[in-house]
Structure 1
């Protein structure tokens, strides 16, 4: 007997909740903002819109389903199951934060602040939740498969990301490593830089695009469903021991990029979640390429 579907509502603390956690009461938070020439009213209104969307999305879950909630800060400790339908209530970035912990479960994106969020991944209003849940579990496949990027270390540690993966120093030091193709006998080029970014078509509206523009790259940016990645080295430094001839490229199909660490420590994290990073030390290597898993975004 198969389990009933489970709706997992993913959310994050609002700005208002963060203010209350820091200042204790509404009055103290309001005084803190007013003393700096700002009003708490708009913050409260945004909080109320999020609360309304969460209540509405929860109420739309069928009575025969199971349901659960998880906050962004707890995603790395939450166990998603194969029967789950993930309902992300918030901003586009929250979809990316959840994506790295999924293995093909359908995702519904609910925009809590239309007009303020770009709505690239959270494309729907909470009033559409019931219809989207039916679409997610219906016979017809109503999901777009968005390409993801993965990093696999030589000790089997693995990291997934929807927008981009960054590899670099944990602070403001210089990262030293050797970079080259993942397959073949090419030893790669020794480099010193502030890090390497490998991004997808979904990430092509953010950090990846800024590097692409800065370099004046003529390689077309990938679309979210393209099985193609772009990578850029940030601020590579030329010296007698380090080069700058391999600072950008494209990965498609089974192609991979290999980075071998030649400094004390390098961190590898995805979609801005540095709190959930891989840590690599001198001599370790990591392979980057297109992930076998895609984000299934319900439309």
Structure 2
């Protein structure tokens, strides 16, 4: 279990992170979100003991981070870095050995991992001969091949096309099923919503959201209504509490409400003649919440 307790880090007059707290249990995935400069990478570096927090503690299984603990961590930095003149095989062996693994433990696994991530290249190919996407997949393998118990991924989906993003998602889910604690940052809220059990959002280094995806979405209320009925846009706009109405290409009305309870009158009117194909009240999406929280006055 990873515990981050009350960490604070300053650089001169700049407070990079402040009052950051969270816990990740085995088999859980947490998303760390926020705008550029919000403090995500600083938080990762404190967890990895690359930076020392001014105050607060980071504990892994109840103990402070040390060399033994670091060997059980897989870290993918935002700044990618492979040795272009080194072969795929030697690259993977080198990074695994940095984590305390022996070559004889890793060599039999290489082909399996290359197949799993559909790397187009032989294990003897030099990194510089691979496409950018395949180089990125090799770097992901270096992060995961030693089967770490704690996985930290800084913008892992950056630059991946949808097919390769799905392969990464599968790799993350597989590690989760084996009991790994996983934390990753992303600007793609679909990835966060799809994968994460919980999230923390930083703004200017301070948490502004912290909890499960469901709880965070629900705290904003079910104020987005999807509706297929005979009611026109004009009629919908006339209901109390309606802030905005639009219509999708498929003919579904999207109604933005002030309060969740404002949907009841619309439901009663829409169903006065019986069955309608669609009536669904949803909380705002994670992307909508992100934009709202990022845009609030600071």
TM-score by length of 2: 0.27
Q: Between Structure 1 and Structure 2, which shows a larger proportion of helix residues?
A: 2
Larger radius of gyration: 2
